[in-house]
Amino acid sequence: MTTASALVIDIAPERLANLIVCTQCDALYQVRQPARGEVAVCARCHTVLVAPRAKAALQIVALAVATLILIFGATVFPFLRIEAGGVANAASVLDVAFAFSQGILTLLVVATIALILAIPALRAGLIVYVLTPFLLDRPALPGARAAFRMAQSLRPWAMAEIFAIGCAVSLVKVADLAHVSFGPAFWMFAVLTVFIVIQTKFMCSWSVWNALASQTQS
């Protein structure tokens, strides 16, 4: 019987603060504050690790607030209108959800609403909560680190843009069977998709964590 021995590496806490891990290939780097216009890229997979931008906090907060408004509008306004055989019907996302909220389909409805509405709205609200004090030159709000950590962990589960793209592909096939017209909610989801992509591009997680850590130390 063989005994495996573990290698323990003791790294000082101050050195851990200067390390960053690539989110794609797990490569470990020692990072420094980039100069204006510089971007830190993983040498192995070319993933952008650090990309600070001027006035990025203002742009991200504005996009997050716009996201919240669009999610509310996309929930209330009609998503599409279908007309076939002289009969027309318009429905919102909530109307469709409530129509199938019976029996075992209730779990599917809850999961769908959470993934396309609740989680994106929660993530946008958390981002506003974390970044707004930076715009006002105020200290971070209580629980800002936990709020940003939750916002980052919820990112893979916010699927509003995937829902919009999936609906667009599906409605192309439905158009052969009936006359389909898009409602305001569909276009809100389309704009929401663009906003989420832009927000993801502007968001530099390392810069936010660095700002939160500096306020905690001070």
Nearest CA to 74 out of 91, 98, 50, 49 is that of 91
What digits encode the pLDDT tens for the residues 101-144? 677 777 877 887 888 888 889 999 999 999 999 888 888 889 99
* CATH 1.20.140 in the chain, residue ranges: 53-204+212-217
Q: Does the pTM exceed 0.95?
A: no
More confident residue, 142 or 173: 142
In the three-class reduction of DSSP (H, G, I as helix; E, B as strand; rest coil), residue 90 is classed as: strand
Kind plus residue range of the DSSP H or E element containing 161: helix 160-174
What digits encode the pLDDT tens for the residues 3-28? 444 444 445 555 556 777 787 787 88
More confident residue, 200 or 150: 150
CA angle 157, 118, 112 (to 5 degrees): 65
Provide the 10 A C-beta neighbour count for residue 122.
17
How many whole angstroms separate alpha carbon 6 and alpha carbon 27?
Answer: 21
**What is the predicted pLDDT for the residue at 124?**
92
Give the tokens for residue 58: 């203002």
Per DSSP bridges, beta strands 40-41 and 48-50 are antiparallel
Contact criterion met (CB below 8 Å) for 121 and 160: no
**What is the predicted pLDDT for the residue at 163?**
75
What digits encode the pLDDT tens for the residues 67-107? 999 988 888 888 877 776 667 777 777 777 776 667 777 78
Q: Which CATH architecture has domain 53-204+212-217?
A: Up-down Bundle (1.20)
Residues 6+ away with beta carbon under 8 Å from 171: 80, 180, 182
**What is the predicted pLDDT for the residue at 6?**
45
CA dihedral for 169, 173, 176, 182, sign (positive or negative): negative
Residue 51 CA: distances (Å) to CA of 18, 25, 31, 196, 205 = 16, 18, 12, 17, 9
Contact criterion met (CB below 8 Å) for 67 and 199: yes
**What is the predicted pLDDT for the residue at 150?**
93
Q: Which of 13-22, 160-169, 201-210 has the lowest mean pLDDT?
A: 13-22
**What is the predicted pLDDT for the residue at 127?**
93
Average pLDDT over the chain reads 78
**What is the predicted pLDDT for the residue at 4?**
46
Under the banding of pLDDT at 50, 70 and 90, the label for residue 1 is very low
